[in-house]
Structure 1
Amino acid sequence: MAISDANTRGSWNSKLGFILAAAGSAVGLGNIWGFPTQVASNGGAAFLFIYLICAFLIGFPVMVAEITIGRKTGRNPVGAFKALSDNKWTYALIGMWGVICGVMILSFYNVIAGWTVSYVFEEVFYFMGMQDWATYISDTDNGPINAVFSTIFMAATVSIILGGVSDGIERATKLMMPLLIGILIIMIGWVLTQEGAGVGLREYLYPDFSRVGVDLVFDAMGQAFFSLSLGMGALITYGSYLSKKENVPGAAAYVTLADTSIAFLAGLLIIPAMYMAQAQGVAIFDDSGNLLASTSLIFQVLPQLFHELGGTLGMVVGVVFFLLLSIAALTSTISLLEVPVSFAIDEFEIPRKKAAQIIGLGILAISLIISFNTSLIGIFVIIFNNIGLPLGGLLICLFLGYYWKTENALSEMENGSPGIRKTLFAKVWPAFVMVIAPLAIAYNLWTALSNLF
């Protein structure tokens, strides 16, 4: 039975709870708007195919490594590396880097998540004839509005973390993940029946292998790595709550499958919706002929589509879509906040309630600064997302492969999978963690650094 006291570390009530929570950590706004446009702009199904290979050949082995480290030690990222290195703080810095990256990513992600909530109200105001209010509340450069919705989103995140692992995170994700998938499927079913959607479907699913090259392969690998929430300590933390009875590689495989499946479904919604918008007269390409992506897609193109639909239909579709984004964002923010909260509980014996409130307020303070200076988001993305996460993932692979050793990791995996050493996984996984994944991640890290100069 899981420990449910909110002042204890806690544990998952079930394997399903862990899978949904870990998948929720991975499924975020990047899956909903970043992945689909990358596919459509880089060879369609050719990119999709390579992405899936990278997710399972690169992302999956690293995920197994993180979960195994967490479960072996039953600690947060800092405590986990301390425990496995006999309290050597030089190795604990690997975990600390993950905590720092998670905190800083949450600080700007919280602002963007707040936009998804503000656009729920934008849709309502617009269709109620209150265009001035709709314009005011949807201005992503509006500092006071950003601050209000950032505060609302952080309050929602903290409220879930206060409930602990089983009564907070697990209960919330067991509700939100099926809801997210259900909304996705319903919206896909509707969009695919609309004019123009067929063109988008072809752009998404038709493979153009002439676009495939070394850069595209590593772009797909980077997308797979980031979309699985690796390198920031979230899966080490979630793994620390996992029962010794559970099969770690099996659980990681389910999480990888869930994340990639939802990313694929998001593509079935977003790309056809964009071409549906084009059929309605909405511009979906920039001046250079490139498909619009990122915030331009979500907060300009699609709202204009919903407005063009008009009436009750337009409002319902718009509100439901931005609720979908809000749910996806919330499943990620709770994992990002749980990492530093777990750190405070383990290392400083701070009660969960106090840790969640203090850390939540601290991160919110950074979010409020970003709310009034949104240009900081791009800087933070480069430092903590584009560079910080691959650096964290690289260090985790090197630590496990060359310090703690894959042999010890496999011994931990035998808990929940007694015959694992006889499997193909046990024969190939060490090579992926020690050689293949580090080389691939190092290339992406080098590329990210090279782009800065």
Structure 2
Amino acid sequence: MAVSTNTDRGSWNSKLGFILAAAGSAVGLGNIWGFPTQVASNGGAAFLIIYLICSFLIGFPVMVAEITIGRNTGKNPVGAFKALHSNKFFPLVGLWGVICGVMILSFYTVIAGWAFGYAFEELFLALNMPAAADWLKDTGNGLKNAIVATVFMLGTIKIISGGVSDGIERATKTMMPLLIGILVIMIVYVLFQPGSAEGIREYLLPDFSMINADLIFSAMGQAFFSLSLGMGALITYGSYLNKKENIPQAAAFVTLADVGIAFLAGLLIIPAMYLAQSNGVNIFVDGQLADSTTLVFTVLPALFNSMGFIGTIFGVTFFLLLSIAALTSTISLLEVPVSYAIDEYDVTRKKAARNIGLGILVVSIIISFNPNLIDYFVIVFNNIGLPLGGFLICVFIGYAWKTENAINEMEYGFAGIRQTLFVKVWPIFIKFICPAAILYTLGQTLVGLF
């Protein structure tokens, strides 16, 4: 391994910068469109309650583990495992996380490009340019997909090239408040429209009769995926964290931000669905609620089109909201391999961001012309790859590096941690509860495939 001598690895300027960047990594397209449809299809607030519990009982402990590994070593996922244990298997765990992040980014830019393109589709419709609007909303158009994905990737490369504090932190400090502001404004408008009340009831009134093992593990899977666990992003972000910061507290804030934005997204999307229904838009397919992709790219645009001028404003704003959420995630997905190249191969940040970003873009362009590949990538690298990575991180902390060493690291920034309940409970979750739950979820995924 090359010893990094360049100085552009970077660090966070503040705890707020880290929290917003980590929350931005967690908050993505899944929070805005995936989570609301899961809630609507699984007992409303019953699913929401279980999701919140799983986020803090399963997601939060693993997040603390990842951040601790990163800060203790000040390295990328591969370098971190190398530094903490002599067993050559564990760096492969870090490498697997890097690979998963790279492959997820390769199709994520295509989907993000769809959202970005739809913002302009709404504008072209308002300008009575239906041909241009149809071109932008055609998700099967390979050339269009490639062009918009390229724009999105170049924006991501530009931010990463700026560094940790001047690039990632500065961008997320702007985008995260903007994202929350847009959500709140749209929620206020939708909730006062006739027809949205049924959606509010569906979202906030729990149907506890629907709670079963499948719902619980579905909620746990959503919580795990939405927090960006298992791919090394939080190890990488943790490696830039100052020793004076309280890791459990920072992880709690990130978890709260993620679930809070997911809750707000549900409070927008589900009432908007029923508002669309009251306006004559069909939100059910074969008796089942429309899936998330149909909802976002068919149902909601139909709603916006039925609302006249205000609908155009809301349509453009909504898809820009999706684009912002996607960009906060693509930033972290690209930062992981960039950090790896900087640490392990002594490459400058700008060169690493450019070369790796453009390399991933080649795969994105292939996917642009073959969108059916996205389903396969999701299964292998998202549905299987991330929980596998999370499970192995739990095993590493619990049985190789040991939770005691992790707690020693957490004492920096949290001097009284050994007098708290956290020290008694967290090791139990990392050693037993989290890996068992993650393994069960992974097993259910594999059983579902075969």
TM-score category, normalised to shorter length: over 0.9
Contact 1:27/1:328 (8 A) holds in 2? yes
Give the equivalent residue in structure 2 for 1:64.
64
Give the equivalent residue in structure 2 for 1:305.
303
2:199 maps to amino acid? G
Q: CA deviation at 1:300?
A: 0.6
Q: How far, CA to CA, are the matches of 1:294 and 1:85 in structure 2?
A: 42
Q: How far, CA to CA, are the matches of 1:188 and 1:356 in structure 2?
A: 37
Give the equivalent residue in structure 2 for 1:270.
269
Contact 2:6/2:346 (8 A) holds in 1? no
Q: How far, CA to CA, are the matches of 2:7 and 2:411 in structure 1?
A: 30
Number of positions where the alignment pairs a residue of Structure 1 with one of Structure 2? 446
> Within the alignment, does 1:179 sit opposite 2:178 as a pair?
yes
Q: How far, CA to CA, are the matches of 2:312 and 2:284 in structure 1?
A: 24
Q: CA deviation at 1:293?
A: 2.2
Q: Please show how residues 65-104 of structure 1 align to structure 2 within 5 Å.
A: 65-86=65-86, 88-104=87-103
1:366 maps to amino acid? V
Q: CA deviation at 1:314?
A: 1.5
Report the CA distance shift for 1:29/1:84 in structure 2 as closer, same or farther (over 3 A): same
Q: Which of 408, 421, 434 does residue 424 from structure 1 map onto?
A: 421
Give the equivalent residue in structure 2 for 1:11.
11
Q: Please show how residues 41-60 of structure 1 align to structure 2 within 5 Å.
A: 41-60=41-60
Q: How far, CA to CA, are the matches of 2:6 and 2:261 in structure 1?
A: 30
CA deviation profile, 1:79-112 (whole Å, cap 9, x unmatched):
00000013x4311000000000000000000000
Q: How far, CA to CA, are the matches of 2:428 and 2:195 in structure 1?
A: 46
Contact 2:62/2:430 (8 A) holds in 1? yes
1:360 maps to amino acid? G
Q: Please show how residues 366-445 of structure 1 align to structure 2 within 5 Å.
A: 366-445=363-442
1:158 maps to amino acid? I
2:102 maps to amino acid? V
Instruction: Name the Cα RMSD after superposition.
Output: 1.0
Contact 2:182/2:321 (8 A) holds in 1? yes
Q: Please show how residues 142-161 of structure 1 align to structure 2 within 5 Å.
A: 142-161=141-160
CA deviation profile, 1:8-28 (whole Å, cap 9, x unmatched):
110000000000000000000
Q: How far, CA to CA, are the matches of 2:169 and 2:6 in structure 1?
A: 13
CA deviation profile, 1:204-241 (whole Å, cap 9, x unmatched):
11100100001111111111011101000000000000
Contact 1:10/1:164 (8 A) holds in 2? yes
Aligned-partner SS, 2:449:
coil
Q: How far, CA to CA, are the matches of 2:415 and 2:11 in structure 1?
A: 22
Q: CA deviation at 1:7?
A: 5.6
Contact 1:60/1:253 (8 A) holds in 2? yes
CA deviation profile, 1:242-262 (whole Å, cap 9, x unmatched):
000000000000000000000
Q: CA deviation at 1:290?
A: 1.2
Q: How far, CA to CA, are the matches of 2:307 and 2:225 in structure 1?
A: 34
Give the equivalent residue in structure 1 for 2:323.
326
Identity of aligned residues (%): 71
1:409 maps to amino acid? A
1:36 maps to amino acid? P
2:306 maps to amino acid? E
Contact 2:98/2:232 (8 A) holds in 1? yes
CA deviation profile, 1:311-342 (whole Å, cap 9, x unmatched):
x2121111000110000000000000000000
Q: CA deviation at 1:137?
A: 1.3
Q: CA deviation at 1:195?
A: 1.6
CA deviation profile, 1:27-66 (whole Å, cap 9, x unmatched):
0000000101111110111110011000000000000000
Contact 1:7/1:352 (8 A) holds in 2? no
Structure 1: runs of 5+ lacking an equivalent: none
2:28 maps to amino acid? G
Give the equivalent residue in structure 1 for 2:198.
199
CA deviation profile, 1:86-144 (whole Å, cap 9, x unmatched):
3x431100000000000000000000000111001100111111111111111000000
Contact 1:68/1:412 (8 A) holds in 2? yes
Give the equivalent residue in structure 2 for 1:291.
289
Contact 1:60/1:256 (8 A) holds in 2? yes
1:59 maps to amino acid? G
Report the CA distance shift for 1:146/1:103 in structure 2 as closer, same or farther (over 3 A): same
Contact 2:43/2:208 (8 A) holds in 1? yes
Q: CA deviation at 1:6?
A: 9.6
Contact 1:7/1:353 (8 A) holds in 2? no
Q: How far, CA to CA, are the matches of 2:178 and 2:123 in structure 1?
A: 21
> How high is the TM-score relative to the length of structure 2?
0.98
1:204 maps to amino acid? Y
Give the equivalent residue in structure 2 for 1:452.
449
Give the equivalent residue in structure 2 for 1:316.
313
Give the equivalent residue in structure 2 for 1:208.
207
Q: How far, CA to CA, are the matches of 1:107 and 1:19 in structure 2?
A: 25
> Within the alignment, does 1:361 sit opposite 2:332 as a pair?
no
Give the equivalent residue in structure 2 for 1:260.
259
Contact 1:6/1:164 (8 A) holds in 2? no
1:439 maps to amino acid? A
> Within the alignment, does 1:341 sit opposite 2:338 as a pair?
yes
Contact 1:6/1:353 (8 A) holds in 2? no
Q: How far, CA to CA, are the matches of 1:214 and 1:360 in structure 2?
A: 40
Q: How far, CA to CA, are the matches of 1:112 and 1:214 in structure 2?
A: 31
Q: How far, CA to CA, are the matches of 2:328 and 2:299 in structure 1?
A: 25
Q: How far, CA to CA, are the matches of 2:239 and 2:79 in structure 1?
A: 10
Contact 1:247/1:416 (8 A) holds in 2? yes
Q: CA deviation at 1:264?
A: 0.2
2:293 maps to amino acid? T
CA deviation profile, 1:278-309 (whole Å, cap 9, x unmatched):
0110010011x111122111111101111111
